[in-house]
């Protein structure tokens, strides 16, 4: 099973350019950190208390590089921190989180690494699709929960929350669709308490960045 970080990157992937949707590095970093925390919660490694502080339940690695990297940082901490603080802390490793998630997609044979030249001199790293099945499946799952009234799987609900919080939902579908399904989206975002904590933390970090604060930690 793909991690949330991998699924989010597939949602953000542009098949034509081989690159990912532009959303700003601090936003991407906080999203990937929040994605890792949610995976760790579902794996029974962490939880949150009534004060929204993160609790370490089990430091045993889960054999997923991005999750084990974050779990090790949490296990090393000497003081309790809120979920928001942990997203800030882990977000300072945004480049590492992105690299670990992309490497897994490469290792799974879903993406490949290539250099794209422009102006005959400069080049940038891109990641063309090798196997589109996983990306199609991720987008189909989001479409299914948007356009039906069924109660979705918790994983799909959280992935929807990440897409909505990052602004990616309008990239994958359209502004009109996002507005038309606004009530449905808000209903779904209230289904999972830990997911709500993560989503709120990401939102607070984004607001801090917009007001001139430091969302990276």
List pLDDT tens digits, range 168-201: 988 888 889 888 998 998 888 887 777 888 888 8
pLDDT in tens, 136-171: 999 999 999 999 888 888 889 999 999 988 889 888
- Report field, pTM of the whole predicted structure over 0.85: yes
Greater confidence, 213 or 140?
140
**What is the average pLDDT across 118-125?**
65
Average pLDDT, the chain: 89
Q: What is the pLDDT of residue 217?
A: 37
- Tell me what pLDDT residue 215 has: 40
pLDDT of residue 12: 94
Question: Could you give the CA distance from residue 161 to residue 152 in angstroms, rounded to a whole number?
Answer: 12
Confidence grade of residue 120 (pLDDT, cut at 50, 70, 90)? low
Give the span between the Cα atoms of 42 and 101, in whole angstroms: 18
Mean pLDDT to the nearest integer, 47-62:
93
């Amino acid at each position: 099973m793909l991690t949330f970080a991998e699924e989010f990157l597939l949602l953000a992937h542009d098949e034509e350019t081989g690159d990912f949707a532009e959303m700003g590095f601090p936003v991407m970093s906080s999203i990937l950190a929040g994605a890792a925390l949610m995976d760790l919660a579902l794996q029974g490694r962490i939880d949150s208390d009534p004060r929204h502080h993160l609790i370490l339940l089990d430091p045993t690695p889960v054999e997923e590089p991005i999750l084990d990297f974050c779990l090790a940082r949490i296990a090393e901490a000497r003081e309790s921190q809120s979920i928001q603080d942990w997203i800030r802390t882990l977000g300072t490793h945004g480049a590492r989180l992105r690299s670990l998630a992309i490497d897994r997609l490469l290792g799974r044979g879903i993406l490949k690494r290539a250099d794209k030249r422009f102006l005959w001199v400069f080049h940038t790293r891109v990641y063309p699709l090798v196997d589109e099945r996983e990306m199609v499946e991720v987008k189909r799952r989001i479409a299914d929960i948007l356009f039906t009234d069924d109660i979705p799987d918790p994983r799909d609900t959280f992935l929807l929350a990440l897409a909505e919080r990052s602004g990616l939902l309008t990239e994958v579908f359209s502004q009109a669709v996002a507005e038309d399904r606004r009530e449905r989206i808000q209903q779904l975002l209230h289904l999972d308490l830990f997911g709500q904590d993560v989503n709120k933390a990401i939102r607070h970090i984004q607001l801090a960045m917009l007001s001139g604060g430091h969302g990276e930690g």
